[in-house]
Structure 1
Amino acid sequence: MGLFSFIKDAGEKLFGTSKDVQAAQAEPAKLPDLNAKAGSAIKTYIETQNLGIQNLAVQYDGASGKVTVTGAAPSEEAAEKVTLCCGNVASVTSVDNQLSFPPGTASQYHDVVSGDTLSAISKKYYGDANQYMKIFEANKPMLSDPNKIYPGQKLRIPAA
């Protein structure tokens, strides 16, 4: 799928704080262990989404904030959701999604800004504000409520 960029300070707090990351960068000897723990936390988070990923492997590089994920996804949609799972975690700045999947229709992505709603995003991409549930469904289970999106979050916009 490729490399996707994300906002470092937005997202789920699965491991430590930005102060913890800075402290780890100051002590390079601790970085490999912290990277392994962070990778494991992200992998566990992906697995809890029940996306059907086989042979999932997650590597996290705290120095760059990059997550690399490998394995096999049952669909392009599942692979895209894995990208969002990884990228919408605090301290992650980019995701290199190397998952394999059967061919399908590509989606777009939207970076949420202040004032965005799923209806407004739906109007922008589909020309119809009432199609917001399509976006909500495409981002489940990362989204639990159509009214709970936040600036800096990246959303998957499925093809019309």
Structure 2
Amino acid sequence: MGLFSFIKDAGAKIFGIGKVDAEDAIEVAVEELKLEKAAVNKLRETIVGLQLQIEHLNIFIDGDIAVVTGLASDQATKEKVILVVGNSKGISIVDDQMTIEHKEPEAQFYTVVSGDTLGKIAKEFYDDAMKYSVIFDANKPMLTDPDKIYPGQLIRIPVID
């Protein structure tokens, strides 16, 4: 897949605090490393908690860039992992270096804008607003309610026949 851009300040907060106001550059660097390690641990917990099947998951965060490696069970799982990581506050780019066991068509990604609903998005992509459930199902378990999407969030739009 490659690089995916996200809105850095949208999404779930994974970093414990904002900018560190320390005068000593070494202390700042150490604190940033601690935050990045904590963020990686939180992302791993989230991915495991969502029961996304990926072997040898590794996430490396450097500033606002996250590199993700591992072996996903399928294309949908791979895309969901990208979304979990990228839809985290503080991450603006996900470098997808994952592989998959079973090759499948790639879904499109769509950035939610103000006023969007899953029905409106389904109408745009499938010419049928009632296919909102296809998009909702494709984004489970990250989405728990079809009405709980937010501007800046990236979601999967799967290929349908």
Is the TM value for this pair above 0.5?
Answer: yes
User: Does 2:77 match 1:74?
Assistant: no
Q: Distance in 1 between matches of 2:59 and 2:44?
A: 6
Deviates more, 1:123-132 or 1:100-109: 100-109
Gaps of 5+ in 1: none
Q: Which of the pair is proportionally richer in strand?
A: 2
* Counterpart for residue 105 of structure 1: 105
What is the DSSP-based 3-state SS (H/G/I as helix, E as strand, rest coil) of the residue aligned with 1:152? coil
Instruction: For 1:31 and 1:10, locate their aligned partners in 2 and report how far apart those are by CA, in whole Å.
Output: 20
Change (3 A) 1:72 1:136: same
Matches within 5 A, 1:46-125: 46-62=47-63, 65-101=64-100, 102-125=102-125
- Counterpart in 1 of 2:42? 41
User: What is the RMSD of the two structures over their aligned residues, measured on CA atoms?
Assistant: 1.4
Matched, 1:23 2:24: no
Letter in 2 for 1:52: Q
Sequence identity, in percent?
Answer: 45
After superposition, give the CA deviation of every residue in 1:80-138 in whole Å (9 maximum; x if it has no partner). 00000001111111111111102111110110000000000000000000000000000
Which amino acid counterpart does residue 121 of structure 2 have in structure 1? I
CA distance in 2, matches of 1:148, 1:68: 27
Larger of the two Rg values belongs to structure: 2
Does the 8 A contact of 1:66 with 1:92 survive in 2? yes
Separation (CA, whole Å) in 2 of partners of 1:12 and 1:30: 20
Provide the rounded CA distance (Å) in 2 between the counterparts of 1:134 and 1:31: 39
Task: Give runs of ≥4 in structure 1 deviating > 6 Å.
Answer: none
TM score, norm. by length of structure 1: 0.92
* Structure 1 residue aligned with 2:13: 13
Tell me, in whole angstroms, the C-alpha distance in 2 between the residues paired with 1:72 and 1:105. Answer: 17
Distance in 1, Cα, partners of 2:107 & 2:129: 18
